Structure 1
Amino acid sequence: MEIHQSTVILLLLLCVSSYTHAQPAHTMRRYQNFLNHHRGPYVNVEMCTSEIRHRKITDSAGYCKPVNSFIRAPDHLITAVCRGGTRLYYNLFRSGTPFDVVTCRLKSGQTHPDCEYDRGRLSIGNIVLGCEHGLPVHYES
């Protein structure tokens, strides 16, 4: 019996989908917020202001974030840190492989949409994530 590659891919997608859908609502909200704030597979150093405005990224009080970092990787590689990274504390994990990260620093403004950011800085290194129920919910800068 031959298993086609498309069948294997479909089964993997179903497993990942069922894993994330089985998470508590609070964890899923935090995970979605994390993705909005920190996942940026195509974000480059020239895109800080436009990307942060487009995503309406602010701090918890609604002010411009002084610093925001975008991890240049797809969801599954970022999420894998929570399952296969080195545990630093009970919910903090460090990646075993380096990631490209674009870090944006606030230049001017206090509230959205007036936040202006300097040109980002690209760095490559291991990342540290706060995880909840196997999903990233916090980026530790």
Structure 2
Amino acid sequence: METMKISFACLLVLCTTVICQDESIRPRYQKFISQHINAGMSATRCNAVIHERGITKTNSNECKETNTFIRATTNLVKPICSQAGEPYGTMRKSLKPFDIVVCTLKNQGARRPHCDYKGQSRTRKIAINCGQGFPVHFERDIVHFND
């Protein structure tokens, strides 16, 4: 009976730890989705989407200099953190290229809501940071498919 109580207590602690870890990563994963996932994105929609999603430099009202949207679903991007990616320094690099839209600020130093972006469509492998198996930061696109 005592062994069963200890086993149950250990199981409870383990489950609580896993739930807490998932909860701590959830806001970062949601921010990643909001800032970087848009399957229907086009190069002409940078201003509208960045404005709708309230994307700015972290903790400010300044326009972000560049923002990259991955034209895919989370079901295609999340696996980069496991079987669909490989180590790339401290990050993970996608094994396959993605269609992306890179939005670059045209009016440097502008503040929201006066951000004006030029979009460019590309096909690139991507490098992301992962936390507990979830994408949490878009680092960059990779031009050369063989690196």
CA distance in 2, matches of 1:114, 1:24: 36
- CA separation of 1:126 and 1:110: change in aligned 2, threshold 3 A: same
Aligned to 2:8: none
TM-score calculated relative to the size of structure 2: 0.76
Unmatched runs of 5 consecutive residues or more in structure 1: 1-20
Structure 2 counterparts to residues 39-50 of structure 1, below 5 A: 39-50=37-48
Q: Residue 56 of structure 2 aligns with which residue?
A: 58
TM-score (norm 1): 0.79
Instruction: Return the offset for 1:40.
Output: 1.1
Q: Report the structure number with the largest CA radius of gyration.
A: 2
CA offset digits 1:44-78 (Å, max 9, x no partner): 00000010000000011321100000000001100
The residue type paired with residue 61 of structure 1 is N
Aligned-partner Cα distance in 2 for 1:79–1:25: 17
Structure 2: runs of 5+ lacking an equivalent: 1-17, 141-147
SS of equivalent residue, structure 2 residue 67 = strand
Secondary structure at the counterpart of residue 127 of structure 1: strand
Q: Pairwise mapping of residues 1-141 of structure 1 onto structure 2 (< 5 A)?
A: 22=19, 23-62=21-60, 63-84=62-83, 85-90=85-90, 92-108=91-107, 110-118=110-118, 120-141=119-140
Q: What is the DSSP-based 3-state SS (H/G/I as helix, E as strand, rest coil) of the residue aligned with 1:121?
A: strand
Q: Is the 8 A contact 1:83 1:134 kept in 2?
A: yes
Q: Distance in 2 between matches of 1:48 and 1:42?
A: 12
How many residue pairs match? The answer is 119
Instruction: Report sequence identity in percent.
Output: 34
Change (3 A) 1:115 1:77: same
**What is the CA–CA distance in structure 2 between the aligned matches of 1:28 and 1:113, rounded to whole Å?**
27
Which whole-Å CA distance do the structure 2 matches of 1:27 and 1:61 have between them?
19
